[in-house]
Amino acid sequence: MVKKLRIPIIIAFALMAVYSLTFMFKLNFQFDFESFFPKDDPELAIFKDFIKDFETDDNFLLIGLKREEGIFDQKFLTDLHDLTIKARDLPHVLEAESITKFSYPLITPFGVTAIPAIHIDDPSKYPMEREKLLEDERLLDYLVSRDGKSTAIALKTVDAIRLDQSKELLGGLEALIDSYDFEESHLLGRAVFQKELVRMQVREILVSTIIAGTLVFLIMLFIYRRALTVAIALTSIGLGMTLFMGYLGISGQALSAMTGLYPILMIIVGTSDVIHIMSKYLDELEKGNPPNSSILVTIKEIGLATLLTSVTTAVGFTTLLTSKITPIREFGVNAAVGVMIAYVTVVLFTSAVLSFYDLNKLTSEKTRTNFWNKWMTWAYKASFNNKAIWTSIIAFLVFCGVGISMVTTNYKIESNLPIGAKITKDYYFFEDEFVGFRPVEVAVTTDGNIYDYEIMKEINKVEEKFKEDGHFKAIRSQTMVYKSIAQMYGGNNHDNYKFPETEAEYNKYKEIAAKIPKLSNNILVGKNAKKARVISRMNDVGADSVKVIVENLDTWINQNTDTSLVNFNVTGTAMLLDKNVEYARRSLLTGLAIAIIIVGFLMALLFKNWRYLIIALVPNIFPLLFAGAILGFLNIELEAGITIVFAIIFGIAVDDSIHFLSRFKIGQVNGMSVEESLKNTFLETGKAICITSIILFFGFMVLLFSVHPPSKSIGILIGITLVTALLSDLFIIPLMIRLLIKR
Tell me if 208 is assigned to some domain.
no
Q: Which residue range forms the structural domain that includes residue 616?
A: 379-405+609-743
Residue 412 belongs to a domain? no
Higher pLDDT, 58 or 77: 77
Q: What is the pLDDT of residue 587?
A: 67
Helices 326-344 and 644-669: angle between axes, nearest 10 degrees: 30
Q: Is the residue at 417 inside a domain?
A: no
What residues contact residue 236 under an 8 Å CB cut-off, 6+ apart? 270, 274, 345, 346, 349, 350, 353
pLDDT of residue 584: 66
Q: Is the predicted pLDDT of residue 728 greater than 60, yes or no?
A: yes
Grade residue 1 by pLDDT with cuts at 50, 70 and 90: very low
Q: Which of 208, 271, 263, 269 is nearest to 235 (CA)?
A: 271
In a domain, 209, yes or no: no
**Cβ proximity of 229 and 367 under 8 Å:** no
The whole-angstrom separation of Cα 187 and Cα 66 is 12
Which position has the higher pLDDT, 41 or 332? 332
Same domain, 390 and 474: no
Lowest mean pLDDT among 102-106, 122-126, 252-256, 588-592: 588-592
- Based on the fold, state whether residues 451 and 542 are members of the same structural domain: yes
Residue 42, in any domain of the structure? no
Q: What share of the chain is helix, strand, coil (3-state, %, to 5)?
A: 65, 10, 25
| Shared-domain flag, residues 250 and 290 | yes
Q: 103-112 long-range contacts, Cβ below 8 Å, gap at least 24?
A: 103/517, 104/484, 104/487, 104/488, 104/492, 105/484, 105/485, 105/488, 105/516, 105/517, 106/488, 106/492, 107/488, 107/489, 107/512, 111/515, 112/488, 112/512, 112/515, 112/516
Residue 182 confidence (pLDDT): 92
Whether residue 732 is found in the same domain as residue 687: yes
Residues 567, 616, single domain; the answer is no
User: Average pLDDT in the 725-738 region?
Assistant: 89
Per-residue pLDDT band for 602 (boundaries 50, 70, 90) equals: confident
Q: Are residues 647 and 743 in the same domain?
A: yes
Rounded Cα distance between 398 and 189, Å, is 45
Q: Tell which phi-psi region holds residue 22, choosing left (phi > 0), alpha (psi between -120 and 50) or beta.
A: alpha
The backbone torsions φ and ψ at residue 70, rounded to the nearest 5 degrees and listed phi first, read 110, 150
Residues 288, 328: one domain? yes
Largest CA distance in the chain: 109
Overall average pLDDT of the 547-555 stretch: 85
Q: pLDDT tens, 637-689?
A: 877 777 778 877 877 778 788 888 888 888 888 888 888 888 888 888 888 78
The tens digit of pLDDT for each residue in 160-213 reads 788 888 899 999 999 999 999 999 999 988 888 888 878 887 787 788 788 878
Give the range with max mean pLDDT: 5-19, 112-126, 539-553.
5-19
pLDDT for 580 equals 67
Q: What is the pLDDT of residues 269-315, one digit of tens each?
A: 888 788 878 888 888 888 888 888 888 888 887 877 788 778 878 88
Residue 647 neighbours by CB distance under 10 Å: 28
* Residue 677, φ and ψ in degrees, nearest 5: -65, -40
Q: Kindly state the DSSP code that residue 140 receives in the 8-state scheme.
A: B
Same-domain status, 300 and 390: no
In this model, does residue 517 exceed pLDDT 60? no
pLDDT confidence of residue 743: 59
Residue 301: HSE in the Cβ half-sphere, 13 Å Cα cutoff: 27
Return the closest-CA partner of residue 296 out of 274, 282, 281: 281
pLDDT at position 394, please?
A: 93
- Percent of the chain with pLDDT strictly greater than 90: 13
Mean pLDDT, the chain, integer: 82
* Residue 11 and residue 98 in one domain: no
pLDDT of 543 over the 60 cut: yes
Q: Which of 557, 574, 591 is the last residue of a domain?
A: 574
Nearest to 261 by CA among 332, 340, 179: 332
Q: End of a domain among 528, 559, 574?
A: 574
Range name among 292-306, 364-378, 421-435, 480-494 with the lowest pLDDT average: 364-378
Select from 223, 321, 338 the least CA-distant residue to 269. 338
Write the single-letter amino acid at 145. S
Secondary structure in 3-state letters for 624-682: HHHHHHHHHHCCCCCCHHHHHHHHHHHHHHHHHHHHHHHHHHHHHHCCCCHHHHHHHHH
For residues 364 and 387, membership in a common domain is answered with no
> Where a domain ends, among 574, 591, 625?
574
pLDDT at 578 over 80: no
Neighbouring-strand partners of residue 60 = 156
Residue 585 lies in a domain: no
DSSP code, position 66:
E
Supply the pLDDT for residue 18.
92
Same domain, 349 and 286: yes
Please, where are the H alpha helices in 490-542?
503-513
How many Cα atoms occupy the beta-carbon half-sphere of 258 within 13 Å? 23
CATH number at residue 297: 1.20.1640.10
Q: Are 225 and 364 in contact (CB under 8 A)?
A: yes
Q: Note whether 340 and 315 are within 8 A (CB).
A: no
**Per-residue pLDDT at 417 exceeds 70:** yes
What local confidence, expressed as pLDDT, does residue 521 receive? 39
pLDDT at 367: 52
- Burial (0-12, 13-18, 19+ Cβ within 10 Å), 502: exposed
Residue 522: the pLDDT is 45
Indicate the SS3 state at residue 154.
strand
Q: Give the pLDDT confidence score for residue 81 in this predicted structure.
A: 93
For residue 151, name the pLDDT band (cuts at 50, 70, 90). very high
For residue 520, the model assigns a pLDDT of 43
Determine how many CB atoms are found less than 10 A away from the CB of residue 505: 16
Number of domains the chain contains: 4
Mean pLDDT of 87-98: 91
Question: In 3D, which of 506, 489, 507 has the Cα closest to residue 497?
Answer: 489
Continuous segment of H or E residues that includes residue 96: strand 93-97
What CATH number has the domain bearing residue 174?
3.30.70.100
In this structure, the chain runs to a length of 743
d(CA 355, CA 2): 8
357 with 385, same domain: the answer is no
CB 684 within 8 A of CB 379: no
Q: Is residue 709 part of a domain?
A: yes
> Cα–Cα distance between 382 and 30 in angstroms, integer?
52
Are 560 and 468 contacting, i.e. CB atoms less than 8 angstroms apart? no
Distance of alpha carbon 615 from alpha carbon 69, whole angstroms: 70
pLDDT at 319 over 70: yes
**Has residue 187 been placed in a domain?**
yes
